[in-house]
Structure 1
């Protein structure tokens, strides 16, 4: 960082870590509770006139459609995050997500209000997509820009931990409702609503915590000097479009496989195709989320030791090794096989997710960084995980085999690995506004670094 920008003290860093983890956990709990419910009940409650198979596809499609609005959310949050600050956008996106989620829990079904029910469901899902598109960038920049240079990988993994924690909370809450409080018809009648309505309590907690965190020191310095870019998105696409493409493809390699679990496909496959008990499947997903949490945490530490890119390449290699065995395990191993498959997926996912925040933050210049990381992440989600559950279901319906799904997952993984090889590891590069020239050069293997001394740690 520049001489005028210092890392937060240990107490502040702990407060920032807590705020980013808690806030992101709540945000992604809201997002994942929808994906879990889409595979379990929405086809019956909101799309039943289309017939069983088409209703399921429509239900899974709503999971993906929200991703189409994540870039818009990223554009808006990125613009205002680079102009008015990181912290304000963190609070706004959290409240928007929570309001949409709570309202979904109160929606009448198709049998009650007809076609208006799926339309309202889709509108609220779009609001979730807008929120998710903007939330991630703010959270990771608050974590990374407050951290000392040699701990950015670990600091960047804090908001990343909120994703598996949100998935754990969503899976656990749904398992509680399906298996204990409202099993069977009661879950279909009213039990599915409870996890959505609980969100209103979580939002209050997240709001209070996020309001207590200080603004990023990088943005504070930019604002003090009046160096905010007026239209950061235009600058981003005019000068850094190639970075957006390459970095988005890196995330495609992670999110395509990731949304096989978080998007509900593998759960739905185990329940409907392999006839496994719904609650047992959800418990298995919760256990996998714990593994994902720890592999993400470990990846943040590895990223500071062996570099961001090296950690990613190890993770992609593990992903490529499991895309064929996972369906064999689920198909032949019953519930134990499902546990094994989900654990194998989660290890590779963590290694290709933990270092993402630090790497993204280090490849974009300070004045357009919020726009850069948010839009790149949103594009990676759209072209990777957005429609992965629906595409996988279509491949299964068309071919009658899971082999086509495995080839699809392998292709996405190799695409991500190839993009990672095209980007430089920028560990240790200064993040402050005094170093924009250095930040703007040498981010890819095809461009020359103009400040090799400052990138001595590049691997």
Structure 2
């Protein structure tokens, strides 16, 4: 300011737009997915231990388990619907409000599951209510993951998108450890089996309310990313993002779906199937006694001859022992999730995933080597633990880069919708049917796990083909994608803006 200028003549300064700090971005993307995956794992664990007895007492263990897994899989059907709804609002009105809404829906549904009456109290209406709340969980998760991934990657420094994208992915192993650790603690502290089936299983679902409050506090402090703000200022926001993404990005939708296929199948085989197989009795006498005790606890009749006719063996571990082994494996899941980010930033997402998917295909061929009971129980335990460690290492290595890869396939104005649909349609093709197919293959093979491994390898081949026909995305311009340098819509997109 010169001597002749008055303060009123001084040029106005524009205040800097608020930005999210690195710690806020990491915490907001991590805490929400941790809660969401905690809620999902709480159901997955109960689907194996509790729900077949309390909500689906058919008198046939295979039918009851399949019914329980069927309701588990139903949530996957709701996920693409949630992806479309939350993606629409996330691409039109911003990421923050959408993430808050998805967290609220998931938290309320999970809390209400903990208050449900059982089959013994209201009959099949209990199963219907469980299905409705499970669908609400799936609907919420359909919008959660993509929003969290966008918060992380749209606020990432240059060259570190894959690294930042691993933090929402880290919510999966953390949610698993918290949910299963709590189930394990309650199971060990339960004064009786009857108490666990009456009240103990409800505690993890009710506890989710505390976690949701923490998640809401973190997410309400976020500000919108610069990528979304710039897209809005340039007039690139669509009235109907769904129409735009299907019209102009259908190839990316297909590729993204198949990128996630092997990841989803591996994910739910390592959690749901292995828990069923690992804790299933290895001999008929032990299984029959446990089934009779469970039937008495739930007030249902037990037919020993019918049970024997449809019995198929497992590894025979106790629940506490096997969940502890799973938690050890999931630690490697978390470590390799974080390690995958810097590697994907250095060599590219596609190159890393081609190698990891090839390893998943080979891993699927080893199920009989690792998972058949041995003459010495010590060898069975060691081989099973090695199986869980290897499987979860691969899970981290394939899951980690997805937090950056799927959003990078789409421009800013349809990024929420596109990445959410690809991620959640893959959940139908992979996760929704994986537990059902695994149990059916396991039973058809008389208790041997090798067909389940072949199924995983086949899905890995489909993912590998998708990766081989794709191109690398790590150098895509995240903020300019879909908008030309002069601020106008990119060529070929102007017509879509009117949709």
TM-score of the superposition, structure 2-length normalised? 0.84
The 8 Å contact of residues 87 and 210 in structure 1, kept in 2 or not, is answered as yes
The 8 Å contact of residues 67 and 378 in structure 1, kept in 2 or not, is answered as yes
Displacement of 1:41:
0.9
2-structure distance, mates of 1:434, 1:402: 46
What's the RMSD between the two structures over aligned residues? 2.0
Matched with 2:470 is 423
Are 1:302 and 2:311 matched, yes or no?
A: no
Secondary structure of the residue aligned to 2:189 is helix
Matched with 2:65 is 56
The 8 Å contact of residues 174 and 282 in structure 1, kept in 2 or not, is answered as no
- List aligned pairs for 1:1-150, cutoff 5 A: 12-49=21-58, 51-150=60-159
Which of structure 1's runs of 4+ aligned residues deviate more than 3 A?
A: 6-9, 433-441
The 8 Å contact of residues 364 and 440 in structure 1, kept in 2 or not, is answered as no
Give the 3 Å change call, closer, same or farther, for CA 291–244 of structure 1 in structure 2.
same
1-structure distance, mates of 2:479, 2:185: 46
Displacement of 1:398:
1.8
Matched with 2:315 is 274
More helix by share: 1
Displacement of 1:15:
1.2
Matched with 1:376 is 422
Secondary structure of the residue aligned to 1:196 is helix
1-structure distance, mates of 2:430, 2:18: 35
The 8 Å contact of residues 319 and 413 in structure 1, kept in 2 or not, is answered as yes
Q: Which ranges of structure 2 fall in alignment gaps of 5 or more residues?
A: 1-15, 281-313, 374-378, 492-499
1-structure distance, mates of 2:178, 2:433: 23
- List aligned pairs for 1:203-242, cutoff 5 A: 203-242=212-251
Q: Which has the larger radius of gyration?
A: 2
2-structure distance, mates of 1:50, 1:232: 48
Secondary structure of the residue aligned to 2:345 is helix
TM-score of the superposition, structure 1-length normalised? 0.91
Displacement of 1:201:
0.6
The 8 Å contact of residues 253 and 413 in structure 1, kept in 2 or not, is answered as yes
Secondary structure of the residue aligned to 1:186 is helix
2-structure distance, mates of 1:145, 1:280: 41
2-structure distance, mates of 1:142, 1:115: 41
Displacement of 1:358:
1.0
Secondary structure of the residue aligned to 2:135 is helix
Give the 3 Å change call, closer, same or farther, for CA 404–437 of structure 1 in structure 2.
farther
Displacement of 1:224:
2.9
The 8 Å contact of residues 100 and 128 in structure 1, kept in 2 or not, is answered as yes
